[in-house]
Amino acid sequence: MKTKLFSFVLMFTALVSFAQQDAQFTQYMYNTININPAYAGSRGALSVFALHRTQWVGLDGAPVTNAVSVNTPFNNSRLGLGVSIINDKIGPTHENTISADLSYTVPTSEKVKLSFGVKATANLFDLDVTRLNPVDDDPSLHDYNNKFSPNIGAGVYLHSDKAYVGLSIPNFIETNRYDDNEVAIFKEKINYYLIAGYILDLNSSIKFKPALLTKMVKGAPLQVDVSGNFMFNDKFVLGVAYRWSAAVTAMAGFQISDAMYIGYGYDLETTNLDNYNSGSHEIFLRYELFKKNDKITTQRFF
């Protein structure tokens, strides 16, 4: 009974939240294309990425996210191209987001590159009224089946084989998902992202990478994610992460082959929400096609 009651509150909050945020990813360091279009093509390979995230397991109406993306450098030019699809379900809401990314890279030194990116997005928002069980039927709620809204975004990404830092705004346009008497009570706000990471060679077989993601959105607390991953023999990855005042995470990954990498993350809540769920699971698979003469560098760590 307690779980069902909390689930109802969660779904209601998802609807009336004024500061709706983008889909959340724990292993953002492998999924950068979704938050920064300047990342497109930066790995020097055709990179295919697929992720599934189940958040707050055991809580009815909790978020479930699926993401698929492809990005690649364009021939031998400085251009990079990317396409991504995100499917996000929260309570009675269902969103499909399709994005196209274009980047342009400028070498700033022999080892460092600066990339600029733009993102064009199409969003389809759907509200399942049957899950709300309203006392009085509101006809206006039926107007939110696959509601379309466009958006644009941009980002910059400074990177080398050892380090990176990026700034991005995936969506510049604030979109009202649901209006009540011309007052927006369910609104997609502008999200600001800062990411950074650095690879340390501890010895010939162990690398350590600390990473940071900071997300800011008006009307919501500042989100800060810090993580540390160890890579052993360029094959096994083990790490931990902390989302400030929200969750701790254990992560693991394995380089199956030169082309394929699989990763898993488990989040444990550090808030009172921990009383109502058994954690969050996130698994992803990355597959890459390198040119025959390309070298695989430490950049595959991000």
The verdict on residue 13 lying in a domain is no
Q: Is 104 exposed, middle or buried (0-12, 13-18, 19+ CB in 10 A)?
A: middle
Most confident of the ranges 2-11, 20-29, 140-149: 20-29
In the predicted structure, residue 15 carries a pLDDT above the cut 60:
no
In the predicted structure, residue 222 carries a pLDDT above the cut 80:
yes
- Torsion (CA) 97, 102, 106, 110 in degrees, nearest 10: 60
Q: Is 5 exposed, middle or buried (0-12, 13-18, 19+ CB in 10 A)?
A: exposed
Tell me if 247 sits within 8 A of 226, measured CB to CB.
no
Minimum mean pLDDT range among 59-73, 112-126, 138-152, 202-216: 138-152
- Torsion (CA) 40, 45, 46, 52 in degrees, nearest 10: -70
The verdict on residue 17 lying in a domain is no
If you average pLDDT over residues 146-165, what whole number do you get? Answer: 93
Structure tokens at 139: 């006809």
**What's the confidence (pLDDT) of residue 1?**
41
The verdict on residue 176 lying in a domain is yes
Spatial distance between the Cα atoms of 115 and 150, rounded to a whole number of angstroms: 24
**Long-range contacts of residues 221-229, Cβ cutoff 8 Å, at least 24 apart:** 221/245, 225/26, 225/28, 227/29, 227/251, 229/29, 229/253, 229/301
Strands 247-255 and 147-159: unpaired
In the predicted structure, residue 93 carries a pLDDT above the cut 80:
yes
3-state class of 290 per DSSP?
coil
The verdict on residue 12 lying in a domain is no
The parent domain of residue 157 ranges over 1-6+35-301
Q: Name the pLDDT band for 302 (thresholds 50, 70, 90).
A: confident
Q: Name the pLDDT band for 253 (thresholds 50, 70, 90).
A: very high
Task: Please tell me which residue, 84 or 301, carries the higher pLDDT value.
Answer: 84
Q: Name the pLDDT band for 75 (thresholds 50, 70, 90).
A: confident
Tell me if 184 sits within 8 A of 18, measured CB to CB.
yes
Token pair 């992720």 is at which residue?
51
In the predicted structure, residue 55 carries a pLDDT above the cut 60:
yes
Question: How many domains would you assign to the chain?
Answer: 1
CATH number for the domain including 120? 2.40.160.40
